[in-house]
Amino acid sequence: MGKLEELKAKLNNLGREYAKIKTLRQEERKAFGEQINRQKAALLAQIKALEDAAEDAAVEPIDLTAPFGENTTPFTPASGTKHPLTTELDRVAEIYRQMGFNVIEARQLDDEFHMFDSLNFPKEHPARDGYDTFRTEEGFIPPAHTSTMQYRALTRFRDDLEKYGQIAVVVPGRVFRNEDVDATHEHTFYQCEGVFVSKDATLGQMLATWKNFFETYYGQKLNIKTQPGFFPFTEPSLEFQIEKPASLGGKGDGWLEMGGCGMIHPNVLKTAGIDPEVYKGFAWGGGIDRLVMLKYGINDVRYFESGKLDFLKEF
């Protein structure tokens, strides 16, 4: 008989002892009853201790110090993948790299100088309000476009003008705008900026560069179209469109606005310490999210930031 059964049997016998009370004299009964109650309480406590111990033993102990092993693999390698925008940003950067551009990453927190002053926005000019800019309480600016990186790109690679006769940089990055969100507008999205400077840079080179990028990205010939635009940091400024290709759902009639471009304004070059009498430059910048949406037929930009696993798993 195990210890537990033994104790339970004793408890049982004790029950029978109670019956003896009637056979005792009145003055003996109280002491006898108290003695039995004490024995009973002691037995119950022992039984409970044994039962608790048995219960604990039945639960497998967890070793909190153990590394993830064969038996614990909550994260299998297959369950994590790159976000589709990360994959596409890598592709975009790679295309430009092969065209000879340096690639640097944009900041996610910037300031008034890089957002406006260095880009030739006149002080107090209404154009400063045109970018739905967020601001922190301290006055920092989550960049509303990747153009905030132009000054850094130009100054960081300025020595290349002496060495190679040109500056060629692209800057993919995350940007933020205080906008109402819908299927085609996000407060958080991605852009890619480009700057090129040389003694004889032309608008023709500008258009050829961007056209070539789009054709490589989509793997097909594309028609492009421009129309006059306005940006304080380029003169002249253009809005750049590509013809929606038939293979991507176009019906021969649609044009897609892909961003802005132009010849870098002499003031922007001057601020970056480059002599606009000697050098000329072109710059361009456009959204990445739309590019990817068109490529994969995604009809709602909000999916990208949603963390929806069923969407992300398609990539």
Three-state SS at 262? strand
Which segment (30-38, 62-70, 153-161, 231-239) binds ligand DAH by CB under 6 A?
231-239
Least distance between ligand DAH and beta carbon 248 (Å): 23
> Which two structure tokens, joined as six digits, stand for 224?
């492009």
Q: How far is the CB of 269 from ligand DAH (least distance, A)?
A: 13
User: In sequence order, which residues have a C-beta less than 8 Å from that of residue 280 and are 6 or more positions away?
Assistant: 197, 198, 199, 200, 201, 202, 263, 264
231 binds ligand DAH (CB under 6 A): yes
Q: Which stretch binds ligand DAH (CB under 6 A): 32-40, 46-54, 56-64, 278-286?
A: 278-286
Among 110, 186, 193, 289, binds ligand DAH (CB under 6 A): 193
CA distance 222 to 129: 34
User: Cβ-closest residue to ligand DAH?
Assistant: 260
- Which residues make Cβ contacts (< 8 Å) with residue 13, sequence separation at least 6? none
Q: Is 262 in the site for ligand DAH (CB under 6 A)?
A: yes
Considering the complex, what minimum distance in angstroms separates the CB of residue 68 from ligand DAH?
A: 44
Binding ligand DAH (rule: CB under 6 A), the pick from 121, 141, 285, 294 is 285
3-class DSSP state for residue 280? strand
The nearer residue to ligand DAH, 84 or 260, going by C-beta atoms, is 260
Q: Which of 260, 272, 303, 304 binds ligand DAH (CB under 6 A)?
A: 260
Q: Which helix (DSSP H) or strand (DSSP E) does residue 263 occupy?
A: strand 255-264
DSSP string, 155-221: HHTTHHHHHHSEEEEEEEEEEE-----BTTB-SEEEEEEEEEEETT--HHHHHHHHHHHHHHHHTS-
User: What is the closest distance, in whole angstroms, from the C-beta atom of residue 70 to ligand DAH in the complex?
Assistant: 51
List residues binding ligand DAH (CB under 6 A).
Answer: 145, 147, 193, 231, 233-234, 237, 259-262, 283-285
